Amino acid sequence: MLGTGALRAHLIEARLAGTIATLREKSLGRYRLFAARDPRVLLGLDPDRDWSAGEVLRLMGQKCGVSVDPAHTSGPDVIDPDRTIAALDRFADRVGEAAGRGVPVLLGTGHPHRLLEFYATLADALSAAGCPVLTPAYGRRVDMATRFGVRTRSLVYVRGVALMREAGARGAPGTGGVHTHSPLPVRAALAAAADAGGPLPGLVIGDHGWVCGAGQLGIEAIGLADTDDPALFVGQAEGRVSAVVPLDDAVGSVHYLPLTRYVLNRAYLSR
Q: State pLDDT tens for residues 215-230.
A: 999 999 999 999 999 9
pLDDT digits (tens, 9 = 90+) for 77-120: 999 999 999 999 999 999 999 999 999 999 999 999 999 999 99
Question: Is residue 271 in some structural domain?
Answer: no
d(CA 27, CA 90): 24
Question: Is residue 119 in some structural domain?
Answer: yes
Question: Is residue 68 in some structural domain?
Answer: yes
Tell me: pLDDT of 170 over 70.
no
Q: Which residues contact 179 (CB under 8 A, 6 or more apart)?
A: 110, 111, 112, 113
Question: Is residue 147 in some structural domain?
Answer: yes
d(CA 164, CA 160): 13
Question: Is residue 204 in some structural domain?
Answer: yes
Question: Is residue 177 in some structural domain?
Answer: yes
Question: Is residue 18 in some structural domain?
Answer: yes
What is the structure's pLDDT at 167?
Answer: 75
Domain that holds residue 8: 4-266
Rounded mean pLDDT, 202-206? 98
Q: Are 210 and 110 in contact (CB under 8 A)?
A: yes
**pTM of this prediction?**
0.95
Number of helices (H), then strands (E), belonging to the chain: the values are: 10, 9
Comparing CA positions, the residue from 103, 109, 59, 85 lying closest to residue 236 is 59
Burial of 27-39, coded b for 16+ CB within 10 Å and e otherwise, reads: bbebbebbbeeee
Q: Are 74 and 247 in contact (CB under 8 A)?
A: no
d(CA 68, CA 53): 11
pLDDT digits (tens, 9 = 90+) for 112-141: 999 999 999 999 999 999 999 999 999 999
Rounded mean pLDDT, 147-161? 90
Question: Is residue 207 in some structural domain?
Answer: yes
Structural domains counted in the chain? 1
